[in-house]
Amino acid sequence: MWSQRAYVDFTLKKRATLSALFRGLSSATDACDADPYLRRAAKFHGERADRKCPVCKGEKMVELRYTFGDQLGQYSGRLKSLQELDEMQSEFGEFRVYVVEVCNECGWNHISSSYLLGDGVTRKPPRKQRTIEDEVG
């Protein structure tokens, strides 16, 4: 990602969660509480993480990347692939990416990092497109 900036590493917070887990303060079911939506997204859209799951040591850890930003308009909050992000960084001035790691074996999930992408040129959000929800609702 050529335009990556304002990188926030959540490793410390993750360590805190993990040590609490291993000290027995929170049960494994609390920490591994990926909701069905997140688990489904991880199964079909996740991109393989280059590290093992910190809880079960499994190798089926994936990363999901969610995008947020005013300039994304109604598309803020969408899940994007690395390839899509690569295209988006030239199409939008600024948006934030949250990387969530999810284990497809035990369900462990946590934000692992966050950063800004974009070419720095401020644009108006795209015009709202009519969606099927508008037709129905």
Which of 97, 106 has the CB closer to Zn ion? 106
Q: Is 21 in the site for Zn ion (CB under 5 A)?
A: no
3-state secondary structure of 92: coil
Site for Zn ion in 85-114 (CB under 5 A): 103, 105-106, 108
Q: Taking the CA of residue 12 as centre, how many other CA atoms within 13 Å lie in the half-sphere pointing to its CB? A: 2
Q: Which stretch binds Zn ion (CB under 5 A): 3-11, 22-30, 58-66, 123-131?
A: 58-66
- Shortest distance, CB of residue 41 to Zn ion, whole angstroms? 16
Sign of the C-alpha dihedral computed for residues 13, 118, 125 and 66 taken in this order: negative
Q: Which stretch binds Zn ion (CB under 5 A): 11-19, 56-64, 84-92, 93-101?
A: 56-64
Residues that bind Zn ion (CB under 5 A): 53, 55-56, 58, 103, 105-106, 108
